[in-house]
Structures are given as C-alpha cells and as structure tokens.
Amino acid sequence: MHLNNHTNPHPIRPQNKSCPAGGTNTVDLEPKAGVSGQRGVVVAPPSGNTAPTPMLVLHRGFDTFAMSIKATIPAELYDLLEREKAVAEEERRDVLVVYNGIQFLLRPHGGGGYCFLISEGDNGATWSFKKPNTKDPWGIRLSFGSRYLALNGLGRAKAHAEHVTKQFGIVYQKDDISFARVDYCVDIPAPNFALIPEHFVMHSHTKRRDFITAEDISVHGKSGRVTSVTVGSTTNRQVIIYDKREEITAKGKVFWWEIWSANLRKYHEICVNLPNFHTVSHQSIPKTLISSDASQSRVWRIEFRAGKKLLKDTWNIRTWKDLFARFGDLCRQSCERIRYTLPAPNDTNRARWPNHEIWDLACAEMNGDLFEMRSDVEPCRVKEVHREQHIGMIYRNIFGSTLSLAALEGKERDNLPAFFRDLGRRFDETAKDNAVRTAKQLKDAKERYVFMQKPDADDT
C-alpha cells in the first residue's frame, strides 16, 4: 500500500518496478530506488477542496478486460468441444472438461455468434470460440472479471491468457489481437458524499445516464438518492461514479468486503511508520468497514471505461505493448474531458468550476503504475469467503424448505427434532434406492462447483 501524500515529479507509468508486467505472482513490497511510495491505500494530498478528514483510496485496479484474437481453435479441441457440448445439451447443464491441463466448464449453448462458451471460474477467464472458418479469422474472444483482476492484476491476466492459448494449441501473432474493453476503477469510502449529476462537466454531445433509487421517505415526503451516474458510451469513452456498497449488497459480491478490509489492515500497519504520521488524521480512518452500517461503510467507485473505438481508432492501441505504454495517458485524458466538479457559488461558467476532491483523488491514480495494481488480500481467502456465502445460501434454502415440509405434514415446534432425524433417514433411504442417480447428481454438483471447492476436498 502507499500513501499518496506528496506529488511525484516523475510519475511511474505504466510499469511497476517492484512487480514488472508479465504475470509474476511474487511482489517485492519494498519500493526500489526511484519508485515513489508503496502500493495500496492512498490518502489525498491537502488542497483547497480537502476536508479535515483525509479521503483515501480503498482499492484501485482493473475491473473488466475483454479482447478478441485473430485465430481459430485447432481441430482436436473443436472435436472434443463438439462431443462434450452434445452431452451438455442433452443433460441441460454445464459439463466439466479438461484439455491439456486446463480445466473449464462448457455451456450447453453458444451465444453472440460463438459456437462454444467456456468458463474457468473466478480464477481464470471466460472464453468464446467460433466454429473454424477461413472467412471469419477472428474466432476467439476472452474476458476477465473484476475478482480475478482485483486479486491478480492485468499483467497476470496477460500471462494467464497466453498460457491457456498455448495449452489449447492456438497460434497467433502479437498483432493478431483486438482490445474490446478495458475498465479501471478506484474505490473511495465517502459516507457523506452526495452524487449530483449536474456537477459533471463534459462536452455538450456526451451522453449522460442517471440511475436514481428510492430510500427512506423524509418528513417532507421527498425520497430518492442518486446512486449512479454514467457519462459516455460503452464503445468509446465512458466514466461512471456509483455507490459500490449498494451494488455489492444487491448482487451478493461479499468478496469485496474482504478486499477492502485487507487494504485497510495494510494501511494501519504502515501508517505508524510514516514520517508525517502526525499530520495525517490517522484516528479518523476506520480499521474495518461495518457492512451493515451504510453511514460508516458507503464506498463510491469511480470507473474509467475504454471501448474498442477509443482504444483502437483514437489511441491506436493494438498490441499489449501499446496498452502498457498508452493506457495511463488515455485515462488521464478521460479525467480532463469529463470532470466531476465542486460548483463555484459566484461563477456561472461551469468550465471554470474546480474539481471535487473525490475526482482529483481518483484521477491522481492514473499517474501511478497501473498494470500491476492488485489487492493485498490472499486469493484463497476470497475464495473461502465466496464458498462460505454459497454454503450459507444453500443451507438457508434447505432449512426453509424443511420447515415448509414440516408444516405441510402437520408438525409442531416440539416435533421438529424428531422430524429432522426422520427426514435424514428418508434422505438416506432415497439415496440407497436411487444409487446410480444419486451418484450422478453428486458428481454433477461437484463439477458445477469445481472452482469453489477447497483444494483438499474429498472426491471419494
């Protein structure tokens, strides 16, 4: 983690000298000579817009990445996928496939012009393959999600994609790629921040979408709070500010609490050793976020999205080398073309309004070493949190269904212990009476949750 409490006269971009791009899993936490700061939580430098309590960056990194490859899958892999897809279609489920050491789930259907859709789970990429056709050379598309990128960084994603394509026998040149989407995000805890769409300053032809959700009705009968504002288009330049806490709560993405908490713990570990420790309001920064308390744990995400037109046509980003060299400048330009401001009371000229401190802090990250930014939390811990969440959800469903069954069978509260034991006996008898079917259902379930199981899970 690093504290951005000074201006670096020579910003390092895009390469992190302590962890060069290329997919290494080892990180030197001691900054090398000439590299400013440590990676992680960032505290905003004092400015005219800065409140007494420092605003900090809780997480920063790539959030979504998608690209296409000018190549097709080899005949051997195509034949395997054809056979396994027939099984998936017949059984109407994803099937587990292993090819040359790569394990993935194959969907029973295609989509978006692609014949095969496969997933490596949260610890890998999602792949789409077309049926080999000489008239359509762009036969492969892949994408990485937010969890993988948060834990590993884009450098590791690049190395993983190259490893998998090699194992699949896919051959292509360095210029045979096309980046479809690259998102970079910054998470800032700001419980008192109010998002006001009219405070965005942008070109008059830029589109803006506002998402408003109802909250508690006030005493005057008014309701509604802006939770997300999106500026721009997905194929070109797009910026979005949104309430990340609300999004992860609604979608059950509990792993973000673990990522944020790990970064906060790291912040407090290094904070006491800062030379200017006494000038930073250390005590005002929480040691953990209370997920149930919005007034303490509301986190806002500022996300910079680059679509294919912006990447390829405007910035001529066509190779990995181009992406490493120019993406930081692309994001910096986005910060200048679209701004979130703090209106000046006596100035009606919006172009002269100063930036809001939350915008300045997010944009400052564009001058850092982007491509190896990742969370300090261990991937295995995030996987365990996800697994525990899923087990809890299934348990609650089973318990609720069991109580419904008890009610239908006329049981009372005092009868439940005996009913639970009897139900277990009935389950056992059903499994024995349908041994083959039960074994297959268990096998199918293990395949479905293969990327969520513990490494030492018992397969017997």
Residue 31 has pLDDT above 60, yes or no: no
* End-of-domain residue from the set 357, 377, 397: 377
Strand order from edge to edge, sheet including 299-307: 95-99, 102-106, 116-119, 126-129, 140-144, 59-69, 177-189, 299-307, 237-243, 225-232, 208-213
Residue 294 lies in a domain: yes
Same domain for 357 and 426, yes or no, is no
Residue 96 lies in a domain: no
Same domain for 24 and 37, yes or no, is yes
Structural domains counted in the chain: 2
DSSP helix/strand/coil, 134: coil
Place of tokens 């308390």: 293
* End-of-domain residue from the set 377, 404, 423: 377
Same domain for 149 and 220, yes or no, is yes
Measured at the alpha carbon of residue 258, what is the angle toward residues 244 and 106, in degrees to the nearest 5? 80
Same domain for 295 and 406, yes or no, is no
pTM for this structure? 0.71
* End-of-domain residue from the set 353, 377, 401: 377
Same domain for 264 and 363, yes or no, is yes
Residue 312 lies in a domain: yes
Residue 10 lies in a domain: yes
Q: Would you call 153 exposed, middle or buried from its count of C-beta atoms within 10 A (0-12, 13-18, 19+)?
A: buried
Q: Is the peptide bond before 14 cis (omega within 30 degrees of 0)?
A: yes
Span 321-358, pLDDT tens digits: 899 888 888 888 888 888 999 999 888 888 889 999 99
Same domain for 228 and 293, yes or no, is yes
Q: How far apart are CA 198 and CA 6, in angstroms?
A: 31
Span 251-301, pLDDT tens digits: 888 889 888 988 888 877 766 666 555 555 555 677 778 888 888 889 999
Which are the contacts of 220, defined by CB distance < 8 A and separation ≥ 6?
none
Span 391-418, pLDDT tens digits: 777 888 888 888 888 888 898 988 888 9
Which are the contacts of 362, defined by CB distance < 8 A and separation ≥ 6?
57, 186, 188, 302, 335
155 neighbors 23 (Cβ within 8 angstroms): yes
Span 66-111, pLDDT tens digits: 999 999 999 999 999 999 999 999 999 999 999 999 999 999 999 9
Residue 453 lies in a domain: no
Residue 216 has pLDDT above 80, yes or no: no
User: How crowded is residue 23: how many other Cβ atoms within 10 Å of its Cβ?
Assistant: 18
Same domain for 342 and 392, yes or no, is no
Same domain for 300 and 411, yes or no, is no
Confidence band of 206 (pLDDT split at 50, 70, 90): low
Q: How far apart are CA 276 and CA 455, in angstroms?
A: 44
Helix (H) or strand (E) holding 452: none
pLDDT, position 358: 94
Q: How far apart are CA 182 and CA 26, in angstroms?
A: 24
Residue 259 lies in a domain: yes
Same domain for 238 and 314, yes or no, is yes
Same domain for 169 and 270, yes or no, is yes
Determine the distance from the C-alpha atom of residue 427 to the mean position of all C-alpha atoms in its chain, rounded to a whole number: 39
Confidence band of 55 (pLDDT split at 50, 70, 90): confident
Q: How far apart are CA 279 and CA 215, in angstroms?
A: 37
Q: How far apart are CA 391 and CA 291, in angstroms?
A: 20
Strand pairing partners for 104? 97
Domain that holds residue 391: 382-448
Same domain for 318 and 389, yes or no, is no
Residue 128 lies in a domain: no
Confidence band of 364 (pLDDT split at 50, 70, 90): confident
The sign one gets for the Cα dihedral 317, 318, 324, 325 is negative
Residue 127 lies in a domain: no
Q: How far apart are CA 5 and CA 8, in angstroms?
A: 9
Same domain for 325 and 421, yes or no, is no
